[in-house]
């Protein structure tokens, strides 16, 4: 234990003296809060802003520096906040603008920054902008993507959509509006009409939205659905929106998004310029007050497209294009080789001088512990927290929360409801990953003091909850918290990275910096015990190191001294070792 106490003293000293030139966001843990499911303060079964404010103690206690809130704006809630009726108002069931301002003040007092979701691709069809545009009100005619229909050759009185484009949520991406007598584009639900970024007024409107919230004190934005901002122009295709070609993916139907290859509705060149323009606004604010802001961009796309969001060599873009490689390409069958490949892939493609980020999950995908397996939850948290750059945690990942069960009758997600399929809806539903957070083992997991919740609480909340894991001698939460603390050290902030496949199931990640302690994270992904000689792979390692953190599965305990030439790893082990300086 003497070695561990020495290391804690060293870590505290490093936190105090580190004077590297990295900005706050480059080394931050960003914790995603899905407000509707985090904490309910008024017993209506829906999470809210005051619930978040009351729960900031958890963020601070865990050592997290930044929270990102999924949309809190005024909305009819067809897609639970991603269909925005007013970009500058708070959804009443979440609270008031005063509640939001209080949240900012309380977060600032705890040195916690607040990042908001910015949803630029679409608004709500109940927004004032859409109503004005549908009525062709002067100045608003082109706020959205409108097009004439095509006469049905088999029924001259019927109009068909302008093209074969398909919504992400299935079926046609075009909807006829009887007021305007044209179709509007909606790449998501019908209630989310796509804004037209070739209209200068729209561009300026959305820039003003960014300025409005920056003036409220937010520290940046997570930008939603970026690849969809622009579509090919009709004038480039003979005056018509072009049909997209078949993707030739088996077991898809003409109603499925995957049925087509989306050449004309994603990743258009103009999209990147728009990102650069938004970056200019953030830089402008930073130049005025010296406070860095951050932009994270969501784009599920080939890595070459994603990397373009960083900038074009002459113009800066997104600070952090989301790295979905773990989320998309790693599962509970992946081995150490797969994981090293994914890590190396991002670090190789990332432009020089940019900051990496690592993501295990979010509100749009099955929870990390459900996808990877609970046995691997500690290992996956360890990796995202100790790799270089920014770590993102979706609420509940620190507890290894798994997906809840949501019946067809309880389902709210339009991605599932649009299937009209009470048997296979769960293939599409995102609701299981959005069930309420587990605070304790009381009714409704301590999420609400009321008698209902907007989605059901997962069945395992009595065993898997924050209160229990804080009290336990060893838990997923305590392992997570230990590693978050380690991120504050100079080795992790500024150190180099070396990743080694020790064997098919054993992966080791080393962070090292001259004259600083070495940090080595190692995991056994298998259900068998493995004995390894780390000195064969890392020549700079000393013969003995100290266990800084150990997962639930690990037999080794914090503070133990181990031999690096003969390390015995338990099944599903994840441990962090440190050396003397």
Domain borders along the chain are: 27-120+200-234+263-479, 122-194+235-262, 496-578
Cα–Cα–Cα angle for 187, 189, 193, rounded to 5 degrees: 60
- Which of 194, 244, 298, 516 is catalytic? The answer is 298
Nearest in space to 344 (alpha carbons), one of 294, 388, 381: 388
- Which of 40, 65, 199, 224 is catalytic? The answer is 224
User: Is 298 annotated in the active site?
Assistant: yes
N-to-C CA span, the chain:
17
Mapping DSSP to helix (H, G, I), strand (E, B) and coil, where does residue 496 land? strand
CA distance 405 to 72: 25
CA distance 155 to 160: 10
Specify the residue for token string 């599932």.
Answer: 416
Cβ 349 vs Cβ 304: under 8 Å: yes
Nearest in space to 296 (alpha carbons), one of 83, 454, 69, 138: 69
Sheet bearing 113-118, strands edge to edge: 320-321, 294-297, 220-223, 113-118, 66-69, 29-33, 390-394, 357-359
Instruction: Indicate the length of the chain as a whole number.
Output: 581
Nearest in space to 278 (alpha carbons), one of 232, 213, 335, 333: 213
| Strand-pair partners of 523 | 507, 574
Sequence-ordered list of residues with C-beta below 8 angstroms from that of 114, at least 6 positions apart, any chain:
66, 67, 68, 69, 103, 104, 107, 217, 218, 219
Nearest in space to 480 (alpha carbons), one of 379, 569, 553, 342: 379
Specify the residue for token string 């599409």.
Answer: 428
Cβ 150 vs Cβ 172: under 8 Å: no
Nearest in space to 400 (alpha carbons), one of 433, 368, 359: 368
**pLDDT given at position 135:** 98
Quickly count: other Cβ atoms within 10 Å of residue 574's Cβ. 29
CA distance 533 to 552: 23
Assess if CATH 3.40.50.1820 describes domain 27-120+200-234+263-479. Answer: no
CA distances from 120 to 87, 167, 203, 294 (A): 10, 17, 10, 16
Cβ 196 vs Cβ 234: under 8 Å: no
Burial of 5 (0-12, 13-18, 19+ CB in 10 A): exposed
| Strand-pair partners of 562 | 545
Mapping DSSP to helix (H, G, I), strand (E, B) and coil, where does residue 459 land? helix
CA 278 to chain centre: 20
- pLDDT tens-place values along the chain, 581 residues long: 444 444 444 444 444 334 358 999 999 999 999 999 999 999 999 999 999 999 999 999 999 999 999 999 999 999 999 999 999 999 999 999 999 999 999 999 999 999 999 999 999 999 999 999 999 999 999 999 999 999 998 988 899 999 999 999 999 999 999 999 999 999 999 999 999 999 999 999 999 999 999 999 999 999 999 999 999 999 999 999 999 999 989 989 999 999 999 999 999 999 999 999 999 999 999 999 999 999 999 999 999 999 999 999 899 999 999 999 999 999 999 999 999 999 999 999 999 999 999 999 999 999 999 999 999 999 999 999 999 999 999 999 999 999 999 999 999 999 999 888 999 999 899 999 999 999 999 999 999 999 999 999 999 999 999 999 999 999 999 999 999 999 999 999 999 999 999 999 999 999 999 999 999 999 999 999 999 999 999 999 999 999 999 999 999 999 999 999 999 999 999 999 999 86
Specify the residue for token string 């088999």.
Answer: 154
Tokens encoding 4: 């561990």
Could you tell me which CATH class the domain 496-578 is placed in?
A: mainly beta
CA distance 212 to 285: 12
Within 13 Å and on the Cβ side, how many CA atoms surround 66? 23
Cβ 453 vs Cβ 436: under 8 Å: yes
**pLDDT given at position 383:** 98
Cβ 332 vs Cβ 289: under 8 Å: no
Nearest in space to 264 (alpha carbons), one of 248, 247, 245, 249: 245
Same fold, 27-120+200-234+263-479 and 496-578: no
Superfamily of domain 122-194+235-262: Oligo-1,6-glucosidase; Domain 2 (3.90.400.10)
Cα–Cα–Cα angle for 346, 497, 485, rounded to 5 degrees: 100
Nearest in space to 294 (alpha carbons), one of 56, 70, 26: 26
| Strand-pair partners of 160 | 150
**pLDDT given at position 418:** 87
**pLDDT given at position 117:** 98
CA distance 259 to 171: 10
């Amino acid at each position: 234990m003497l070695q561990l106490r020495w290391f804690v003293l060293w870590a505290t000293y490093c936190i105090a003296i580190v004077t590297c030139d990295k900005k706050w966001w480059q080394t931050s843990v960003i914790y995603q809060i899905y407000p509707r499911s985090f904490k309910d303060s008024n017993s209506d079964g829906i999470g809210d802003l005051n619930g978040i404010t009351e729960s900031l103690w958890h963020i601070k206690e865990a050592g997290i520096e930044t929270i990102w809130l999924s949309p809190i704006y005024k909305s009819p809630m067809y897609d639970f906040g991603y269909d925005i009726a007013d970009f500058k108002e708070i959804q009443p069931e979440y609270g008031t603008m005063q509640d939001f301002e209080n949240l900012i003040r309380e977060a600032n007092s705890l040195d916690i920054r607040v990042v908001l979701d910015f949803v630029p691709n679409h608004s709500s069809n109940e927004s004032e902008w859409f109503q004005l545009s549908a009525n062709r009100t002067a100045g608003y005619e082109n706020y959205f993507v409108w097009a004439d229909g095509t006469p049905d050759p088999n029924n001259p009185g019927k109009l068909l959509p302008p093209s074969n484009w398909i919504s992400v949520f299935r079926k046609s991406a075009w909807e006829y509006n009887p007021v305007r007598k044209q179709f509007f584009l909606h790449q998501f639900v019908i209630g989310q009409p796509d804004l037209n970024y070739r209209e200068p007024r729209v561009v300026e409107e959305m820039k003003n939205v960014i300025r409005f919230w920056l003036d409220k004190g937010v520290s940046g934005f997570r930008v939603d659905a970026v690849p969809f901002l622009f579509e090919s122009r009709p004038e480039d295709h003979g005056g018509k929106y072009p049909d997209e070609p078949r993707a030739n993916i088996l077991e898809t139907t003409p109603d499925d998004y995957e049925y087509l290859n989306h050449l004309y509705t994603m990743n258009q060149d103009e999209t990147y310029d728009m990102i650069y323009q938004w970056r200019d606004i953030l830089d402008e604010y930073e130049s005025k007050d010296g406070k860095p802001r951050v932009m994270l961009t969501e784009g599920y796309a080939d890595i070459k497209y994603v990397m373009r969001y960083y900038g074009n060599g002459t113009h800066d873009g997104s600070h952090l294009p989301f790295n979905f490689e773990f989320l998309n390409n790693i599962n509970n069958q992946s081995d150490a080789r797969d994981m090293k490949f994914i890590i190396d892939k991002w670090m190789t493609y990332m432009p020089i001088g940019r900051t990496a980020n690592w993501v295990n999950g979010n509100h749009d995908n099955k929870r990390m512990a459900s996808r990877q397996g609970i046995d691997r939850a500690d290992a996956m948290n360890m990796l995202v927290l100790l790799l270089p750059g920014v770590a993102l945690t979706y609420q509940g990942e620190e507890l290894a929360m798994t997906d809840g069960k949501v019946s067809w009758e309880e389902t709210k997600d339009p991605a599932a409801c649009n299937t009209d399929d009470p048997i296979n809806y769960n293939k599409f539903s995102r609701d299981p990953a959005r069930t309420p957070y587990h605070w304790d083992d009381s009714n409704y997991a301590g999420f609400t003091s009321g008698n209902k919740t907007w989605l059901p609480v997962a069945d395992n909340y009595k065993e898997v909850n924050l209160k229990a894991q804080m009290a336990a001698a060893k838990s997923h939460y305590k392992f997570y918290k230990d590693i978050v603390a380690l991120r504050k050290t100079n080795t992790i902030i500024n150190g180099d990275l070396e990743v080694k496949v020790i064997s098919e199931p054993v992966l080791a990640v080393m962070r090292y910096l001259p004259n600083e302690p070495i940090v080595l994270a190692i995991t056994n992904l298998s259900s068998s015990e493995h004995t390894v000689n780390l000195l064969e792979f890392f020549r700079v390692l000393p013969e003995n190191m100290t266990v800084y953190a150990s997962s639930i599965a690990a037999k080794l305990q914090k503070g133990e001294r181990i031999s690096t030439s003969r390390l015995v790893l338990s099944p599903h082990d994840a441990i962090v070792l440190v050396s003397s300086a």
